[in-house]
Structure 1
Amino acid sequence: MGKVKAVCRKHVPYTLPLDVYKFGSRSVYSMMDTLEAVMWILAAVSLMLVILSMYSSISMDAVTRRKEVAIRKINGASYRDIAMLFAKSYITMFLLMYLLVYPLLKLAMANLLEGSSLKSVYGWEWGVILFAVMALLTAMAIGWQIIKLMRINPADTIKKE
């Protein structure tokens, strides 16, 4: 530590304090802990933006298809038929986007963390967890909109149109 402080003192004026710590020996967050916390916050904000944009898209789609759903209900469509009306397109989009983005994300993370002690990106577990969480959130958003659509009165909807 004395040699490190001597080298640092060559570039830092004597009027400024020189505090050199080992990682993990500080009582406050070290730089790595702070960076990790910031990355977790950014990941949470990004996930919330994805969830809200997905819910917004599904909501707008449900509003524009309200008349179509009313006509299908009059013709005797079941909950399953109406669910598949929405789910087919969103499941297809979700699978295609996941299959395109996941390999690119995995390659980017592997290149970024190459030579690092963090090897968790090379495992398959985080990809499966990410897939399951995003699929669950998509299913919940689609399900909520379908439940709201199934409660509408077809006669009132057609009258408004």
Structure 2
Amino acid sequence: NEYVGHCYLKCKPGSVEEVKSFIEETLKESFPPSIQPRISTLLDDIHQTQAIENKMKGIIFFFSFVSLIITLLGVYSAITLDTERRQKEVAIRKVNGAGLKQIILLFTRMYIYLLAFSAIIAFPICYVVFQLWKNMYIVFFNDGPLFWTSIFMGVAAITILTIIFRILKIAKTNPAEVIKNE
């Protein structure tokens, strides 16, 4: 085994191929032809040593997406059941002068509280898991406040849009028809 070791050179973004070709030429001039140096980047080496983790990243991303869809379907079914059960209450409120804003606030308040409560429980647990996971690897991502805020705002926006879609449907029904059907 003629393995001598390895050395990483820092280069500017976009100049990796240029640096690789320069290093190849320099090594061909310096070493005898019997020695064939292997040139790769730190990222290539990380992908090679952490191949399982890279595959797991794709699997975790897929299941996260599936979990998000299942959660949104659960929120949609919960709001559908809630609005169907409270149709008469909405109709009476509309007859008494409640506007669209009051009806939306009637339903969304509870779901916003549930979202905030679940975030208060889930985010610290995820933060601890990420910190433990981060310690095992060389390269990771920055999970600062913007990361956590963007996750919360994204999930909140999708949840609110799902809720408002269903609430608008129930708020636009004719109160006379609802009371007549009851």
Q: Provide the secondary structure at the position in 2 that maps to 1:120.
A: coil
Q: How does 1:1-161 map to 2 (within 5 A)?
A: 24=47, 30-120=51-141, 122-161=143-182
Q: Which is worse superposed, 114-123 or 101-110?
A: 114-123
Distance 1:44 1:89, change over 3 A: same
Cα distance, 1:106–1:23 mapped onto 2, change above 3 Å: closer
Task: Please tell me the root mean square deviation across aligned C-alpha atoms, in Å.
Answer: 2.1
Q: Percent identity?
A: 27
| Structure of higher CA gyration radius | 2
Cα pair 1:110 1:121 within 8 Å, conserved? no
Give the C-alpha shift of residue 36 in structure 1: 1.6
Cα contact 1:70–1:158 (8 A) shared by 2: yes
In the alignment, the residues of structure 1 paired with residue 139 and residue 115 of structure 2 have an alpha-carbon distance, to the nearest angstrom, of 29
Change (3 A) 1:84 1:71: same
TM-score under structure 1 length normalisation: 0.77
TM-superposition CA deviations, 1:44-65 (whole Å, max 9, x none): 1111111111111111111111
TM-score under structure 2 length normalisation: 0.69
Pair 137,63 (structure 1): closer, same or farther in 2 beyond 3 Å: same
Task: Give the count of matched residue pairs.
Answer: 139
Contact 1:70/1:157, CA 8 A, preserved across alignment: yes
Correspondence for 2:40:
none
**Distance in structure 2 (CA, Å) of the matches to 1:24 and 1:130:** 26
